[in-house]
Chain A
Amino acid sequence: MPRNAPRLRVLVDAPGAPAQNMALDEALMLAASEPTLRFYGWQPATVSLGYFQRRAEFADVPRDTPIVRRLTGGGAIHHGDELTFALAVDATLLPGDIASSYTGLHDAIVAVLRNLGVPCERLTSGKAQSSRPADRWCFAVPGQDDIVTAHGKLLGSAQRRVRQPRTRVLHHGSLVLSRPTLTPFVAAVDDFVAVDDGFRRALIERLTAALGSAIGCQPEAGECTATERDHAARLTTRYLDPSFTARL
């Protein structure tokens, strides 16, 4: 890593409530003054909808499972025991076309997981999804560049891009650690290795290094600024609003 590489601020948060999680990610996309990588989880387990999905398609989700709408696209995810990350950066740190931006990040993640004993790969051939996914769940239909094991799709990813005035990217990743109840067809890290606290720490450390390297930045632990927290607090209202969740 060049000595003058930009800093990648790394935030490691405890599992959080769904609206707060989504609001903070949006605030980081809109307001972060430096490249930021945030790791977090979900408490309680939550279903997140892709930005353009219809709420009515999820009437069968148990009432005690919160549903939140993401800003990023794609299919729904049941976030149980997983490691979620949000990468909020200027688009200039990623390859120009969106597909290529996934390739570099996913290759970095695959290398980390293999090194930790999870035999996985990035799908490099096969059918790219060229129309609306056939299934409402993100993990049901692996597409080109998705990370999979022999058991199915292991990592869900999606992006949001805005210009203000620089183009900013929010890249979401959901790495399944243990299989969630509503989507038993997914792959999980604990199919291969025991997921204890030590493993979680090692996973975060290695993903931090690998993702930082993938975008040419030097990772460094950091904190949210007060401005970002305030911004997130304002945005939380929208994610809590049932009319936003059911906007489609």
Chain B
Amino acid sequence: MRPDDRQYLKSHEWCKIDGETATLGITDHAVAQLSDLVFLDLPAVGASVTAGEQYGEIESVKAVSSLYSAVSGEVLEVNAELPDNLEWLSEDAFEKAWMIKVKLTDKSGDLMDAAAYEETVKAEQ
């Protein structure tokens, strides 16, 4: 079971909301699908992100994939060490490998809880 203190998107991103701040990342399942990661591009602090829209890009050995935001708002903080330590995504996708923190103004209507996300992952396998 994946952490139940956060919500998930079908596209395998997670979102943890604490008051007015949302922390975003991708799930262990996304990491496994991508395989060996080589490059991560995240927005700058102060940038705006929009729920359902791309906020970054990640490259594995074989594919460039978009990262989608579960929320709208302004980027407050970026995990600046992550692009140089992509192994963190394999080690701890839900804590150490968070990607951005956003001052929340809105959130996606497509968010699901951990149990529903588990079903989504099972359906894909």
A52 at the interface (CB under 8 A from B): yes
CB distance from B63 to the nearest CB of A (A): 4
Counting CB contacts under 8 A, is A5 at the interface?
A: no
A133–B32 Cα gap in the complex (Å)? 20
Q: Given A73-B59, A128-B61, A167 and B11 touching (CB < 8 A)?
A: yes
A129 on interface, CB distance cutoff 8 Å: yes
Which residues from B are CB-within-8-Å of A128?
A: 35-36, 61
Report chain A residues within 8 Å CB of B61: 74, 128-130, 143
B59 touches A97 (CB 8 A): no
Chain A 51-79 residues near chain B, CB threshold 8 A:
51-52, 71-74
B33 and A51 within 8 A (CB): no
Q: Are B60 and A51 within 8 A (Cβ)?
A: no
What separation, in Å, do the CA atoms of A161 and B39 have in the docked complex?
Answer: 15
Binds A, one of B20-28, B64-72, B74-82, B112-120: B64-72
* B42 beta carbon closer than 8 Å to chain A: no
- Known contacts A128-B61, A143-B61; A161 and B36 CB within 8 A of each other: no
Q: A124-142, CB under 8 A of B: which get 1 and which 0?
A: 0000111111000000000
Q: Which residue of A lies closest to B40 (CB)?
A: A52
**Which chain B residue shows the least CB distance to A143?**
B61
Residue A150 is within 8 A (CB to CB) of chain B in the complex: no
Contact A132 B38 (CB under 8 A): yes
Count of A-B contacts judged by CB separation below 8 Å: 73
Which B residues are CB-close (under 8 A) to A229? none
Instruction: Give the one of B32, B57, B62 with max A CB within 10 A.
Output: B62
Known contacts A52-B41, A163-B68, A167-B11: does B63 contact A97 (CB below 8 Å)?
no
Q: Which residues of the other chain, A, contact B35 by a CB distance below 8 angstroms?
A: 97-99, 128
- Contact between B34 and A98, CB atoms less than 8 A apart: yes
Question: Distance in Å from the Cβ of B47 to the closest Cβ of chain A?
Answer: 16
Do A158 and B36 form a contact, CB below 8 Å, given A96-B124, A96-B125, A163-B68? no
Q: Give chain A residues whose Cβ lies under 8 Å from the Cβ of B125.
A: 96
- Can you sample 30 A-B contacts with CB below 8 Å? A51-B64, A52-B38, A52-B39, A52-B57, A52-B64, A71-B64, A73-B59, A74-B62, A96-B33, A96-B125, A97-B32, A97-B35, A98-B33, A98-B35, A98-B63, A128-B36, A128-B61, A129-B61, A130-B61, A131-B36, A131-B38, A132-B38, A132-B39, A157-B62, A161-B63, A161-B64, A162-B66, A163-B11, A163-B66, A163-B68
